[in-house]
Amino acid sequence: MNSPAVFVSDVEYIHAEPEGISHQISDVVDAYEHALCGRFPRGRYVVGVRAKYVMLPLQALPEWLSDWVFSLNKRPTPAVLRK
């Protein structure tokens, strides 16, 4: 069993505010709403100020090239998605 001290540290970790994370989710909800209910939904939605700074130069590129740029990020692929 977990001791109370471990439980308290887990709760503090969960409630700690990560740096750079915004708690304003209305922009995300608006993007979802437009994607589901909009007459002409976009293929991609850029939400947040920092994401717009990243996507601004990439929007001028063809979609396949911007996808390739994002694929350079070497994150592990889940086993379900591996061929």
Res 39: pLDDT: 93
pLDDT confidence bin for 82, thresholds 50/70/90: confident
Buried b (16+ CB within 10 A) or exposed e, 27-51: eeeebeeeeeeeeeeeeeebbeeee
Task: Average the pLDDT over 43-71 and give the result.
Answer: 84
Res 37: pLDDT: 95
Q: What is the dihedral of CA 23, 47, 56, 58, to 10 degrees?
A: 120
Residue 18 has pLDDT above 70, yes or no: no
Range with lowest mean pLDDT among 14-28, 38-52, 69-83: 14-28
Residue 35 has pLDDT above 90, yes or no: yes
